Amino acid sequence: MSDEPLVEHLFRHQFGKMVSVLTRIFGLSNLEMIEDAVQDTFVNALTKWRIQAPDDPEAWLMQAAKNRMVDLFRKTKAENKHTEQLYYSPGAHHLNELLLDHEIEDAQLRMIFVACHPALKPEEQIAFALRSIAGFNIKEIAVGLLLPEETVKKRLQRARKKVVDQGIEFAVPSGAELLPRFNRVMDVIYIIFNEGFQSTHQAQIIKKDLCGEALRLCQLLLKRDEMRSSKLYALFALLCFHSSRLDTKISPEGELIDLEHQDRTQWFWPLIKLGNEAMNKAMERDELSTYYFEAAIAGEHIKARTFAETDWDQIAHWYACLLEWHDHDIYRLNLAYVHIQQGNFANAERLLLQIPPKNLADRQYLLFGTWAELHKAKGDHQKANASLKEAIEAVTNDVERRYLRGKLRG
Amino acid sequence: MKEFMMIFVGTSYEELGLSPEQMQARMGKWFAWSNKMESQGIAHRGEALHDAVKRISGPDRVVGDGPFVESKELVGGYYIVKAETVEDVVEIAQDFPDYDLGSSVEIREIMVFDQ
């Protein structure tokens, strides 16, 4: 048997690939049957391999996928009732062709665009994408998105029903439909990433996986010439810059570490390099986006060797651009924080006063926390503590709460 | 050296609804166990069994389709290992990966007839 450990996430990624390829053949109306069939393949692999591991697990899975396809052809032919027109004739030649790398990528790309179809609500799009492209099961999606399993199940059911009922085509849209859908695809990738990056819940592994999947989907899009827009490059750069810091954000004890106290020597340089390259590509074209400015800001933080060396003026400039491009209270809040770092307290206060707490919903505590920073910077520790207490009152997760409490003591 | 059969009894993976990622993690544990035995020079071989069961019974040779036992008591596969004593095999079985799923290992010595 092979001594090599399995490629990381091999099963999960293989699941996504196989589901996409099979969907290309059997159509979206058979999606549930396909997912069950692929799941079976994995159960078989697990049962068999635990006693006798194959020399080449990846090839084994691929062969199993092929066998499964042939089975399904027989099955759908025999039943012949739910079968729609198959897109391909089941010749062995065709099967092999569909399993070439670029054909698998093509099938996955189609699946991403289906997931982002406007008939699906945003929350359904995300659940569908995580299931059918990224190979998460209901439980993993529930943990990743901090939702009850029942909710995830319903969202997936609704999404699948819409895909079938509305006869959504398993294709990348063309013409006028393409751009809005492409934008939505990028948004969904961004949201999946943030679910992983911003959340502070305990399931560290799932959290990292969400970020990893978002990066992978982005890379899948970047493989296609026609998809390589400045906006996509900027999104990729942003995800790379953020991901490079992922391991330094939470201490081994599960405590939150802010940007000032992260061990910058542990930031992951290969990702930063990838991010820089993508950012250069993004800058080649004169096309701006929120991703572009967010990536510029993240890149500026990455550039600083220590927190003290941060170029706050440059960051303030990017936030001002960002606010002008897309007015949002979270950006305003961040700019206020930057002004505090610059010692520009009057501007910071002016901005904070412009933000109605309720606009921030469950992120209100960030506003109170920033007020606390401002008071502290001005030397008013009493007011700082009062604001911190407000923040602690408003915060919804334990990790952030402990972080804020730690500041209260300090 | 004697030969022992380690029989793996437990819930079939099919019923557990594991995600691809969880299945891979479990696979890794089985690989690790097998590698550990190999590195310790413990000869082992085995087979995995499908869930489906046919049972023939009675003087009329009645053929039935399973399942005949609770799914958590299904025999899923076996290893045959060489060891000096059954205690050694109990030691080896400490690393069986599926105890957390409610599965168990049964050890039986393989009979050798002296002529």
Question: Which residue in chain A is spatially nearest to B75 when comparing CA positions?
Answer: A47
Number of CB pairs, chain A paired with chain B, less than 8 A apart: 81
Report ipTM for this prediction: 0.78
Question: Which residue in chain A is spatially nearest to B96 when comparing CA positions?
Answer: A50
pLDDT at B30 over 70: yes
Whose tokens are 């399931």? That residue is: A203
Contact A9 B17 (CB under 8 A): no
Which of B14, B21, B50 comes nearest A12 by C-beta? Answer: B21
Q: How does the average pLDDT of chain B come out, rounded? A: 89
B59 CB neighbour count, 10 Å cutoff: 5
A362 CB neighbour count, 10 Å cutoff: 10
Residue A369 lies in a domain: yes
Q: Dihedral sign, CA of B18, B22, B23, B27?
A: negative
For residue A76, the model assigns a pLDDT of 72
DSSP letter string over A156-179?
HHHHHHHHHHTT--SS---GGGHH
Residue A333 lies in a domain: yes
Report the distance separating Cα A48 and Cα B25, nearest Å: 15
Element (H, E) at B62: strand B62-65
Residue A201 lies in a domain: no
Name the phi and psi angles at A323, rounded to 5.
Answer: -65, -35
CATH code, A381:
1.25.40
The residue ranking higher by pLDDT, B7 or A99, is B7
| Overall number of domains in chain A | 2
pLDDT at A100 over 90: no
CB of A261 closer than 8 Å to CB of A209: no
Residue A315 lies in a domain: no
| Contact status of B19 with chain A (Cβ, < 8 Å) | yes
B35 CB neighbour count, 10 Å cutoff: 15
The reported pTM is 0.83
pLDDT at A2 over 70: no
- Given A99, A114, A137, the domain boundary residue is A99
Residue A13 lies in a domain: yes
For residue A143, the model assigns a pLDDT of 82
Nearest CA-CA distance, residue B70 and chain A, Å = 18
pLDDT band at A407 (very low <50, low <70, confident <90, very high): confident
For residue A280, the model assigns a pLDDT of 95
For residue A114, the model assigns a pLDDT of 96
pLDDT at A140 over 90: no
Range with lowest mean pLDDT among A22-26, A324-328, A368-372:
A22-26
C-alpha to C-alpha distances, A198 to A28, A153, A247, nearest whole angstrom: 33, 24, 13
In chain B, positions 28-57, which contact chain A (CB-CB < 8 Å)?
Answer: 28, 30-31, 34-35, 46-50
The residue ranking higher by pLDDT, A265 or A8, is A265
For A346, the domain range is 329-410
pLDDT band at A79 (very low <50, low <70, confident <90, very high): low
- Given A78, A99, A120, the domain boundary residue is A99
For residue A160, the model assigns a pLDDT of 94
Query: Which residue from B90, B51, B46 is spatially nearest to B73, judged by alpha carbons?
Result: B51
Sketch out chain B's domains with CATH numbers.
2-109 (3.30.70.1060)
Residue A274 lies in a domain: no
For residue A354, the model assigns a pLDDT of 95
**Contacts of A119 by beta carbon, 8 Å cutoff, 6+ apart:** A162, A163, A166, A168
Which of B14, B34, B50 comes nearest A53 by C-beta? Answer: B34
Which of B17, B26, B47 comes nearest A46 by C-beta? Answer: B26
Question: Which residue in chain B is spatially nearest to A50 when comparing CA positions?
Answer: B30
Contact A1 B31 (CB under 8 A): yes
Name the phi and psi angles at B2, rounded to 5.
Answer: -110, 165
Nearest CA-CA distance, residue A121 and chain B, Å = 25
Residue A11 lies in a domain: yes
C-alpha to C-alpha distances, B3 to B36, B83, B96, nearest whole angstrom: 18, 6, 18
CB of A335 closer than 8 Å to CB of A316: yes
For residue A342, the model assigns a pLDDT of 95
Which residues from B are below 8 Å from A51, CB to CB? 30, 46-48, 77, 79
For residue A64, the model assigns a pLDDT of 82
Strands B44-48 and B104-109: unpaired
- Given A66, A99, A132, the domain boundary residue is A99
C-alpha to C-alpha distances, A84 to A164, A219, A282, B36, B101, nearest whole angstrom: 12, 33, 43, 50, 40
Contact B27 A6 (CB under 8 A): yes
Report the distance separating Cα B63 and Cα B60, nearest Å: 9
pLDDT at A151 over 80: yes
pLDDT at A45 over 90: no
For residue A91, the model assigns a pLDDT of 59
Nearest CA-CA distance, residue B24 and chain A, Å = 6
B32 CB neighbour count, 10 Å cutoff: 13
- Reduce the secondary structure of A99-154 to three states and give it as a string: CCHHHHHHHHHHHHHHHCCCCCCHHHHHHHHHHHCCCCCHHHHHHHHCCCHHHHHH
For residue B14, the model assigns a pLDDT of 80
Whose tokens are 């930031």? That residue is: A267
3-state secondary structure of A395: coil
pLDDT at A187 over 90: yes
pLDDT at A381 over 80: yes
Q: Dihedral sign, CA of A328, A329, A335, A339?
A: positive
Report the distance separating Cα A13 and Cα A16, nearest Å: 5
Crossing angle of the two packed helices A57-79 and A10-26, in degrees rounded to 10: 30
Q: How does the average pLDDT of chain A come out, rounded? A: 88
Residue A15 lies in a domain: yes
Report the distance separating Cα A358 and Cα B29, nearest Å: 49
pLDDT at B92 over 50: yes
pLDDT band at A83 (very low <50, low <70, confident <90, very high): very low
Nearest CA-CA distance, residue A49 and chain B, Å = 7
**pLDDT average, residue stretch A168-175:** 92
**pLDDT average, residue stretch B6-13:** 89
For residue A226, the model assigns a pLDDT of 87
The token duo for A147 is 């939702």
pLDDT band at A70 (very low <50, low <70, confident <90, very high): confident
